[in-house]
């Protein structure tokens, strides 16, 4: 599907005497990730001018660490949102896996870290699969299903953890060092998150299964007519989203000093916000995991930036809210303009 549209893009400017570079520039300027990237760069520059310590080596490391967990969660959420679904339980999944990670290291401190990572991913995958199964089997909107499992998973974590917390001293030093040690200046857990996001981006754009998710989000009934197994693809999106939430839970246990019953509470709304701000259409069918990851970085940078500028926390939340509303309005206007252009094109062809 991408080849024909790409060819049309290259032919249109030629009729106007324009070169291929103009076409490439036009395509670049239409990228959904461009506005959020520009906003991120501008925010960093302005904050650095006001507070030169903002981009110190330690400041950069803190920015990357703070965004790591949200990048993974936003990337997974994108797979679900593009299919016209949503998963509100990711914060609870993260909390369960994070406390489970602390429990494993508390009872078996010598367990290999890669094995713990795999256990966390598998645990998250099971919870994500539960969400997906209920959504495709019961034919109930995922908003309702995952709102319910948000409380179910949170209740399980409360019953499991109770007042108990696992602290940094309960885990092996090597596990905690994942958030301390760097490779080329990048924390190891951040590097891991970046690699995962890149792999997922390649899957979404290059693999048929990934492109099917966009087709489902654009028009589920048309996707069925084209032979796409909608239920299986939606289930897979929830499964992968749960796996990434599980991975984020393990990395959370490495990043922060304590995990307990309330770990991950409220994260679900931040995750959806990061995806939407990153250009993922809340109504499905468009957006990328790269954009969602950039959106996660932007939201975390806003918080760090306003803190560095000593802005009240209320205004931090208000600014994030304005960003979300603006992103949704821009997406809606872009959709209406695209629909209008299609109608005009069809009118000329008749």
pLDDT of residue 54: 83
Segments of the chain scoring below 70 in pLDDT: 1-32, 331-332, 334-336, 338-339, 341-350
pLDDT of residue 29: 45
pLDDT of residue 12: 35
pLDDT of residue 5: 37
Three-state DSSP class for residue 207: coil
Kindly tell me the number of DSSP H helices and DSSP E strands found in the chain.
Answer: 15, 4
Long-range contacts at 323-329 (CB < 8 A, ≥ 24 apart): 323/273, 323/277, 323/298, 323/299, 324/273, 324/276, 324/277, 327/36, 327/276, 327/277, 327/279, 328/276, 328/282
DSSP 259: E
Structure tokens given for 258: 């304590």
Q: Among all chains, which residue has been given the structure tokens 């959370």?
A: 252
For 177-228, the pLDDT digits (tens) are 999 999 888 999 999 999 999 999 999 998 999 999 999 999 999 999 999 9
pLDDT of residue 20: 44
What is the pTM assigned to this prediction?
0.85
Q: How many CA atoms lie within 13 A of 331 on its CB side?
A: 22
pLDDT of residue 311: 76
Q: Which helix (H) or strand (E) element contains residue 159? A: helix 142-161
pLDDT of residue 347: 67
pLDDT of residue 229: 93
């Amino acid at each position: 599907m991408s080849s024909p549209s790409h060819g049309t893009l290259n032919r249109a400017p030629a009729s106007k005497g324009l070169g291929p570079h103009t076409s490439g520039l036009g395509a670049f300027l239409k990228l959904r990730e461009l506005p959020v990237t520009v906003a991120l760069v501008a925010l960093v520059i302005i904050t650095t001018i006001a507070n030169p310590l903002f981009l110190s080596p330690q400041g950069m490391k803190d920015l990357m660490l703070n965004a790591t967990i949200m990048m993974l969660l936003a990337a997974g959420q994108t797979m679900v949102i593009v299919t016209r679904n949503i998963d509100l339980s990711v914060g609870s999944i993260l909390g369960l896996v994070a406390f489970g990670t602390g429990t494993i290291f508390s009872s078996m401190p010598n367990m290999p870290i890669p094995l713990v990572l795999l256990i966390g991913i598998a645990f998250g995958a099971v919870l994500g699969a539960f969400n997906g199964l209920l959504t495709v089997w019961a034919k109930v909107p995922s908003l309702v299903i995952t709102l319910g499992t948000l409380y179910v998973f949170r209740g399980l974590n409360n019953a499991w953890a109770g007042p108990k917390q696992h602290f940094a001293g309960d885990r092996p030093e090597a596990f905690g060092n994942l958030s301390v040690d760097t490779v080329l200046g990048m924390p190891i857990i951040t590097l891991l998150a970046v690699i995962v996001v890149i792999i997922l981006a390649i899957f979404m754009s290059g693999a048929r299964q990934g492109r099917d998710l966009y087709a489902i989000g654009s028009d589920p009934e048309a996707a069925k007519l084209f032979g796409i197994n909608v239920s299986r693809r939606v289930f897979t999106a929830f499964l992968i989203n749960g796996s990434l939430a599980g991975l984020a839970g393990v990395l959370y246990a490495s990043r922060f000093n304590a995990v307990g019953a309330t770990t991950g509470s409220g994260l679900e709304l931040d995750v959806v916000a990061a995806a939407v701000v990153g250009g993922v259409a809340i109504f499905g069918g468009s957006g990328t995991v790269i954009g969602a990851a950039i959106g996660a970085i932007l939201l975390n940078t806003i918080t760090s930036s306003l803190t560095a500028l000593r802005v009240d926390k209320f205004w931090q939340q208000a600014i994030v809210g304005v960003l979300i509303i603006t992103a949704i309005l821009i997406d809606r206007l872009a959709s209406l303009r695209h629909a209008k252009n299609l109608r005009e094109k069809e009118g000329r062809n008749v």
